[in-house]
Structure 1
Amino acid sequence: MRRILAIVGATALAALLLLAGSVYFLLQPDRFTAMLQNQAANAGLELNLSRPASPSLFPRPALDLHGITINAQGANRPILLASGGRLALPWRTLLGGPTVITRLEINSPRVDLDALQAWINALPARGQDTPPDIPRIDTGVSIDHGSVVRGDQLLLGNLSLEAGSLASGVPFPLSVSANTADGMPLQLRLSATPRIQGNALQLENIALYLSQGAATHMQLAGSARWHGAADAAASLTGTLDHATAGQYAISLALTPADQSKPLLLSLKLDGPDNHADLRLPPLALARWWGHVGSGDNTQLTVPPGSGHADIAKIDMGGITIEGLTLRAGDEVPATASAAAPASPAPVQGKKPAVSR
């Protein structure tokens, strides 16, 4: 009996060792690690792992990644830090087929917006005649317990993301949930069908849902087109529901830039006691917002744009503003002393009542 048990034990151990060797041989962790690093390098990024990837076959073939760091080439501040991740692989890849990842999972990632913006700004300019492309994603993507920061400031926490495959002509689903720095829950759901038509990227059947806490919900539907640079157009309409303020009709229209006008976003809001019709240049507005949060002691200016807004009441972080009327740009009425040129994008209106 002892001899039989010894033979069975030795056979089982040999089988386990053979299985472990087969798993490593089939998955070839070095091959997939090099593939990921090469793809990152092609985008101007550096990918590093704290230790080599480890393979597994159950419950499905996969590679476990440990201590993920992604930063721009030559940069010290990482764009993304993650405790780990997992690449799920199809059996056909293990048996000699094309290298395909069926699912990407990332655990506890931390994304730094300042580092991300610096990498984007350093990317080479895209040629005007270069047609847009859809960055194909054959895998599903899953992110758990993520966070978004700007330097040392937390912007979003407890972030989760689920996305399907991204390919031309195939509906692309995306779901995101997170909490703001003060604990307010946010949720986003997006569905759209991307496709290339001529030299333009078209997003059809867009369905967008946004919610902030239990009080505010917004639903939009429409389509969008992008030909490159500031040649973009979009049309979205829907409703904005607030638990206490009521329901509003909302529309967003993006007009492409031309020789005389910049890329322009038109926002219309119409509902109980609140009305707005604003025209905002999103690129100039992004630069203005970047100066606001930069902390470089530059003088604060009025944000770019034109239009008007009549807001009965706004509640923001413990501050309440009542009876706010805005007139900006070409909506500002002429005055008797119009001989002197007005400053860019002035704001006039009734003095609002503010309470804390």
Structure 2
Amino acid sequence: MNRRLRIGLLVVAGLIAAIIVAALVAMYAVLQPERFTALLQSQARASGLELSLANPASPTLWPKPSLELEGITLHGNGGNAPLIVAARGKLVLPWRTLLGGEATISRLEIEGARIDVDAVSAYLDTLPPRPSTAGAILPAIDAGFRVSRSTLLRGNRLLLSNVDIDAGRLANQHRFTLSIDASTADEAPYALDLATTPSLADGVLTLGDLDVDVVGKDRFSAKLHGDATWRGGADIGGSMAGRVTRTDAPPYDVVLGVTPANQQDPLSIALKIDGEQDHADLHLPPLALSDWWAGMQAGRPPTLPPVQGTIDATQVDVGSVHIKGLRVRATPGSPTPASTAAAPARSP
């Protein structure tokens, strides 16, 4: 190699090294990890939460400007048990940040999180109640977020594992998407995909062009389309229709309607199912169902759920319970439904 070529290579190597050093200096000087950490903590504090990190955030430029987070813990103000504990996280930043633009976050990613349902419920109980006459709201989320390889717990009891949540930006008149994948405690995998265009005007929130897809791997898939409205409080209405496809049984059509509460009647859900051999026409009061389920969980004497309507099914499988020839007639005058179903038999 002649002397001129060696000098040229040294000059190129020097330029590359200078560019790398300059990029690193710019990354720390412009990104300023402490200001974005403070931004995230201030946003959490505004919601009554306290965010802490095990180590200071570290910046990176590839594939996008971002800050790597380690040892994330999120507490409610005054709460003992953390709501969320995550091994790692990332704040993805817009490229304009490198040019000294506004400190904004375009995406939040969390990996290996443990989410405690009891702690989250306790935090929600501390929030001030909204007046019953208040209209609907749309909590804007400027940044999309991703939660991966996480678990959902109730205290020390596992509810869901392998939780993966991917959500886009939530804003008025902007198409919002949400995907959730998880496995139950018995390792049955499920997936939920939701897409809608929310619109908030004069205290009324409309979820237009609402698509909901639910899949139980190797068992069933459900696709529903419709819309929903919320005017505040229990004033919720909606209508959806679609089809449920089952792996080992014929499909059936589903129509779902939600009637808002009024001075005489509570919030009600009407569910109609029509298949080749299975039919159901039910009215479900969600608040009464919630109280019934809470009582069952608390060890109250078992009772049938507060459901009105009719069910005719050749076969019903719920977990390990297998029922053949189910027939139910529940009228408003008889809160305890009458059933002529065959005795339940546990599947092997």
Equivalent pair of 1:148/1:154 in contact (CA under 8 Å): yes
- What does 1:202-213 correspond to in 2, within 5 Å? 202-213=206-217
User: What percentage of aligned pairs have identical amino acids?
Assistant: 40
Q: Give 1:88 shift.
A: 0.9
What is the aligned partner in structure 1 of residue 86 from structure 2?
A: 82
What is the aligned partner in structure 1 of residue 34 from structure 2?
A: 30
Give runs of ≥4 in structure 1 deviating > 4 Å.
4-19
What is the aligned partner in structure 2 of residue 95 from structure 1?
A: 99
Equivalent pair of 2:206/2:230 in contact (CA under 8 Å): yes
3-state DSSP of counterpart to 1:353: coil
Q: Give 1:318 shift.
A: 3.0
Residue 99 (structure 2) pairs with residue 109 (structure 1): no
What is the aligned partner in structure 1 of residue 309 from structure 2?
A: 307
Q: Which amino acid counterpart does residue 71 of structure 1 have in structure 2?
A: H
Q: RMSD of the TM alignment (CA)?
A: 2.5
Q: Which amino acid counterpart does residue 330 of structure 2 have in structure 1?
A: A
Equivalent pair of 2:93/2:107 in contact (CA under 8 Å): yes
What is the aligned partner in structure 2 of residue 136 from structure 1?
A: 140
Could you tell me which of 147, 150, 168 is aligned with 1:146?
A: 150
What is the aligned partner in structure 2 of residue 298 from structure 1?
A: 300
Cα distance in 2, alignment partners of residues 69 and 290 from structure 1 = 29
3-state DSSP of counterpart to 2:169: coil
Residue 52 (structure 2) pairs with residue 62 (structure 1): no
Q: Which amino acid counterpart does residue 350 of structure 1 have in structure 2?
A: T
> 84-93 or 298-307, which moves further after superposition?
298-307
CA change 1:291–1:97 in 2 (3 A) is farther
- What does 1:1-356 correspond to in 2, within 5 Å? 19-293=23-297, 296-330=298-332, 332=334, 345-356=335-346
Scaled by the length of structure 1, what TM-score is found? 0.87
**Could you list the runs of 5+ residues in structure 2 that have no partner in the other structure?**
none
CA change 1:111–1:292 in 2 (3 A) is farther
Equivalent pair of 1:255/1:263 in contact (CA under 8 Å): yes
CA change 1:347–1:231 in 2 (3 A) is same
Q: Which amino acid counterpart does residue 279 of structure 1 have in structure 2?
A: H
Cα distance in 2, alignment partners of residues 302 and 255 from structure 1 = 23
Cα distance in 2, alignment partners of residues 58 and 136 from structure 1 = 28
Equivalent pair of 1:45/1:70 in contact (CA under 8 Å): yes
Q: Give 1:238 shift.
A: 0.7
CA change 1:289–1:46 in 2 (3 A) is farther
CA change 1:203–1:351 in 2 (3 A) is closer
Q: Give 1:128 shift.
A: 3.5
Cα distance in 2, alignment partners of residues 108 and 175 from structure 1 = 17
3-state DSSP of counterpart to 1:259: coil
Q: How many residues align?
A: 340
Equivalent pair of 1:79/1:116 in contact (CA under 8 Å): yes
Q: Which amino acid counterpart does residue 352 of structure 1 have in structure 2?
A: A
> 165-174 or 131-140, which moves further after superposition?
131-140
Equivalent pair of 2:219/2:247 in contact (CA under 8 Å): yes
3-state DSSP of counterpart to 1:64: strand
CA change 1:7–1:315 in 2 (3 A) is same
CA change 1:18–1:130 in 2 (3 A) is same
Cα distance in 1, alignment partners of residues 16 and 101 from structure 2 = 30
Equivalent pair of 1:327/1:346 in contact (CA under 8 Å): no
CA change 1:241–1:154 in 2 (3 A) is same
Q: Give 1:24 shift.
A: 1.8
CA change 1:45–1:299 in 2 (3 A) is farther
Equivalent pair of 2:213/2:224 in contact (CA under 8 Å): yes
CA change 1:6–1:96 in 2 (3 A) is closer
Equivalent pair of 1:142/1:163 in contact (CA under 8 Å): yes
Scaled by the length of structure 2, what TM-score is found? 0.89
Cα distance in 1, alignment partners of residues 168 and 337 from structure 2 = 44
